Amino acid sequence: MAKGVWIITEQRYGNFRKITFELASTARKLADELGEDVCAILLGSGIEGIAGELGKYGVDKVYVADQPIFESYTTDAHAAAIVHLVNEHSPSILLFGASSQGKDLSAHLVGRLETGMATDCTDVKIVDGRLRAIRPMYAGKCFGEVAINTFPQMASLRPNVFPVVESAREAVIVKFDPGISPDQLKTRILEVRKTTNGKADLTEAAIVVSGGRGMKGPENYAVLEELAQLLGATVGASRAAVDAGWRPEADQVGQTGKVVSPDLYIACGISGATQHLAGMGTSKCIVAINKDPDAQIFVAADYGIVDDLFKFVPELTKEIKALIS
Amino acid sequence: MNLVACIKQVPNTDTTIRVKPDGSGIDETGIEWVMNPYDEFGVEEALKTKEKFGGAVTIVSLGPARAINAIRTALAMGADRAFHINDIVFNGADAYMTAKALAAVIKTIPYDIIFCGQRAIDDDSGQVGAILAALLDIPQMTVATKVDVEGNTIKVVRPVEGAELLIESHLPCVVTAHKGLNVPRFASLPGIMKARNKPVEVKDAAALGVSMNAKAQIFRMMPPSARPPGRIISGDDPAAKAKELTKMLREEAKAI
C-alpha cells in the first residue's frame, strides 16, 4: 500500500531554494490530513549538513545522497536516485517544485514510473484519501481539478503560491546510496552562465515591475529599472515589448513567456491582452498604470492609476525612496 | 539526418476560453485552431537541421480530425511527411498517454532528433517531451533556446532561474523547443500547394497496438475565480496619486 507524502527538495550551492520550504509546508498539511509522514529527498554534493533544516517545516524524515555525481543537476542521476527510493518505499504522493529543474525531472519520472502528474498546481488537497490538484490551464484562462489514478500521485507546485509554515520537529536523517555510475548519465553540463546579476529570476521574484508597448522604446526602461532597484524587484515585459526587440525573450511574462506569481506586480503601459493576463493573473497584488482608462489591464488590477506612466512612475519612485529612507 | 517534430493543435493565444457549464471541458465553438507556438519552434529547428545536414522531417501529431490543419501547416513549412494519430479512444489522453502513442509511431521510423514544444499552451503540462525521452530511453534536452549539432554530438542552451546552462549530449535525443530558439518561417504559397500531396498516414489505437490508459484525469474544469474588483486611484496630480498608492501598498495590501 502506497504511503507517505514525499517531496523532492531543491538546493543550489548548499542552500535550499524557497520552493523547498513551500513543498515541505504543503506536504505537512496533506500528510496531517492523511495521518502519514512527510519524507524528503535531498540530492547534492557537500550538502548533508543542511538536511536538518527541513525539520523546521514539518519534514519527518530526510533521505540524503551526498555524492559528487549530484554536484550539478542532471535528469538521469536525480531520476535514478528517486526511482530507487520510490521502488523501495512506495510513496503515495510525490511533490516537486514547478521550477526549471523540477519540471525537467518530474516529467521524466512520469515516464519512468509510469504514473500521472498535475503540473504547476496552485492548490492541492486530499479528497477521500487521494490527492486532488487544482492547476491553471490555457495559461490561467481556466482551471482544472485533477486526480491521479496511479501511484505515486505526482504534482508540481507553482513557486511563490503555497505558504511557508513552520512546524518544528526533529527530522530523522537517512543516508542512502543509489549506486549511480557516471556512464548512466546521458547529458553533461559544460557551462553555467549567470544571467541575472544577482537579481531574482522573474518566476521567483517577490516583486515584478513590467513594461509594455506604452514604454515606447528600449531606452525608457531605465524608469522601471530605477523603481525596481528600490523595491528589490525584477523587471519584466509584455510580448509586445519583446517582439519589438526592446527587451530579451527571457523577460517576457505571458502565455508564451514566463508565468509569474509575485507578491506585487506593477504593470506599466501594458494593455492587458489575455496573453499577458494569463502570465501574471495569480500575482497576489496587481497595480496597473496606463493612460487608457479602458485598458483591459484594469480589470485584473487591485489598484489602477490612469495616467501617463512617464509622469507617474517617477513620482512613485520618489515616494518609495522617501518611504525607505 | 532523420528528424521528427511532434506537434499539437491548440486554440490560438487570443482565444477567450469558456468552460462548459457542466465543467466537462471547454466550449470549442468559434475557436481558431493553430499549431502550438512552441511546436512551431520545434518544426523550424527540424527544418533548419535538415537544411544543414540533409535528411527528412517527419511530423507526428495526436489529435482529432481538425488537427490535420496543423499537420498541413507543418508540411507547408517544409516537412516531408506526417503521421496523424486520430482515435476517439484517445479523448482525454493525459501527457503519459500522449507520449505513449507518439512513441509507438516513432519506434517504427528511424530518428536522430525528436523535437517537441517545451509545453502546449492549452493544457500547459510541459511533460510530453520528457516522457517520450524516458519511454525511448534516450537523452532529454528540455527548454532549449539554442541547438548545435556536430556529428553525433548535440549541445543545447537551456535557461534556468538566474542562469543559462550549456548542456552536451548525443544523438538520438529529444529536444524541447523554447521561445528564442528561432523564428519560425511562414508557409509559402508553393509550400502550401506542395503540402497537399505530401503523405499523411492516419493511425488509430489498434494500428499502434496501444490501449488508452491515462494516469491523470481531469475531474472538472472551472473558470478562474474572479478577483475582487480593484480600485482606481483618481486625481489629476501624479504626485498625490503616487502618495496614495504607496500608502495603500504599505498599509492595505502590505506588499511593500
In chain B, domain spans: 2-208, 231-256
User: Does any CB of chain A come closer than 8 Å to the CB of residue B135?
Assistant: yes
Q: Does residue A189 fall inside a structural domain?
A: no
Quick check: helix, strand or coil at residue B87?
coil
Q: Model confidence over B132-159: pLDDT tens digits?
A: 999 999 999 999 999 999 999 999 999 9
Q: Which of A113, A115, A128, A142 to mutate to test the interface with B (most CBs of B within 10 A)?
A: A142
Q: What is the ipTM of this complex?
A: 0.95
Q: Could you tell me which of A325, A177, A172, A145 has the C-alpha nearest to residue B223? A: A145
Asked if A9 and A145 sit in the same domain, the reply is yes
* pLDDT bucket at A325, cuts 50 / 70 / 90: confident
* pLDDT bucket at B240, cuts 50 / 70 / 90: very high
User: Does any CB of chain B come closer than 8 Å to the CB of residue A128?
Assistant: no
Asked if A162 and A292 sit in the same domain, the reply is no
CATH of the domain at A9: 3.40.50.620
Q: Does residue A21 fall inside a structural domain?
A: yes
Query: For the whole model, what pTM was predicted?
Result: 0.94
- Return all residues near B240 (Cβ < 8 A) that are at least 6 apart: none
* Confidence (pLDDT) at A200: 83
* pLDDT bucket at A222, cuts 50 / 70 / 90: very high
Asked if A140 and A255 sit in the same domain, the reply is no
Residues 52-111 of B with CB under 8 A from A: 94-96, 99
| Three-class DSSP labels, chain A | CCCCEEEECCEECCEECHHHHHHHHHHHHHHHHHCCCEEEEEEECCCHHHHHHHHHHCCCEEEEEECHHHCCCCHHHHHHHHHHHHHHHCCCEEEEECCHHHHHHHHHHHHHHCCCEEEEECEEEEECCEEEEEEEEHHHCEEEEEEECCCCEEEEECCCCCCCCCCCCCCEEEECCCCCCHHHCCCEEEEEEECCCCCCCCCCCCEEEEECHHHCCHHHHHHHHHHHHHHCCEEEECHHHHHCCCCCHHHEECCCCECCCCCEEEEECCCCCHHHHHHHCCCCEEEEEECCCCCCHHHHCCEEEECCHHHHHHHHHHHHHHHHC
CA atoms within 13 A on the CB side of A69: 19
According to DSSP, the β-strands at B2-7 and B9-11 are unpaired
Domain count, chain A: 2
How many angstroms separate the CA atoms of A279 and A273, rounded?
10
* Confidence (pLDDT) at A36: 98
Q: Is the pLDDT of residue A119 over 90?
A: yes
Residue A55 has φ and ψ, to the nearest 5°, of -60, -35
* Confidence (pLDDT) at A39: 98
User: Does any CB of chain B come closer than 8 Å to the CB of residue A233?
Assistant: no
How many angstroms separate the CA atoms of B1 and B3, rounded?
6
Strand partners, A304: A288, B232
Interchain proximity B216–A203, CB inside 8 Å = no
Extract the C-alpha cell encoding B143: 527548454
* pLDDT bucket at A140, cuts 50 / 70 / 90: confident
**The CATH number of domain B2-208 is 3.40.50.620:** yes
CATH of the domain at A288: 3.40.50.1220
* Confidence (pLDDT) at B14: 83
Residue A42 has φ and ψ, to the nearest 5°, of -120, 120
Q: Model confidence over B164-222: pLDDT tens digits?
A: 999 999 999 999 999 999 999 999 999 999 999 999 999 999 999 999 999 999 999 99
How many angstroms separate the CA atoms of B19 and B28, rounded?
9
How many angstroms separate the CA atoms of A23 and A58, rounded?
10
CA atoms within 13 A on the CB side of A280: 37
* pLDDT bucket at A69, cuts 50 / 70 / 90: very high
* pLDDT bucket at B15, cuts 50 / 70 / 90: confident
CB A69 within 8 A of CB B105: no
CB A233 within 8 A of CB A324: no
* Confidence (pLDDT) at A197: 66
Asked if A167 and A65 sit in the same domain, the reply is yes
* pLDDT bucket at B122, cuts 50 / 70 / 90: very high
Of A150, A169, A184, which residue is a domain's last? A184
Candidate from B94, B158, B230 with C-beta closest to A298: B230
* Confidence (pLDDT) at A168: 87
Cβ contacts (< 8 Å) between A120 and chain B: which residues? 124, 126
Q: Does residue A163 fall inside a structural domain?
A: yes
Q: Does residue A190 fall inside a structural domain?
A: no
Give percent of chain B with pLDDT exceeding 90.
94
Residue B194 has φ and ψ, to the nearest 5°, of -65, -35
How many angstroms separate the CA atoms of A295 and A270, rounded?
8
Interchain proximity A108–B214, CB inside 8 Å = no
* Confidence (pLDDT) at B162: 85
Nearest Cα of chain B lies from the Cα of A169 at a distance, in angstroms, of 30
* Confidence (pLDDT) at B153: 98
Cβ contacts (< 8 Å) between A203 and chain B: which residues? 161
Q: Which long-range contacts (CB under 8 A, 24 or more apart) does B169-172 make?
A: B169/A186, B169/A187, B169/A188, B169/B139, B169/B141, B170/A186, B170/B139, B171/B112, B171/B113, B172/B111, B172/B112, B172/B113, B172/B114, B172/B136, B172/B138
Interchain proximity B96–A207, CB inside 8 Å = no
Asked if A34 and A180 sit in the same domain, the reply is yes
Q: Which of B14, B97, B161, B234 to mutate to test the interface with A (most CBs of A within 10 A)?
A: B161
* Confidence (pLDDT) at A256: 87
Interchain proximity B14–A188, CB inside 8 Å = no
Nearest Cα of chain B lies from the Cα of A273 at a distance, in angstroms, of 8
CB B181 within 8 A of CB B147: yes
Per-residue pLDDT averaged across A55-80, rounded?
A: 97
CA A254 to chain centre: 15
Specify the DSSP element, H or E, that contains B14. none
Asked if A211 and A176 sit in the same domain, the reply is no
How many angstroms separate the CA atoms of A167 and A152, rounded?
25
Q: Model confidence over A179-205: pLDDT tens digits?
A: 999 999 999 999 999 886 667 889 889
How many angstroms separate the CA atoms of A107 and A100, rounded?
11
How high does pLDDT run on average in chain A?
A: 95
Asked if A308 and A167 sit in the same domain, the reply is no
Q: Which of B34, B140, B225, B237 to mutate to test the interface with A (most CBs of A within 10 A)?
A: B140
Q: Model confidence over A152-185: pLDDT tens digits?
A: 999 999 999 999 999 989 999 999 999 999 999 9
Asked if A12 and A152 sit in the same domain, the reply is yes
How many angstroms separate the CA atoms of A180 and A78, rounded?
9
Only one residue has cell 522531417, namely B57
User: Domain limits at A305?
Assistant: 207-324
Asked if A165 and A211 sit in the same domain, the reply is no
Interchain proximity B132–A103, CB inside 8 Å = no
Q: Does residue A226 fall inside a structural domain?
A: yes
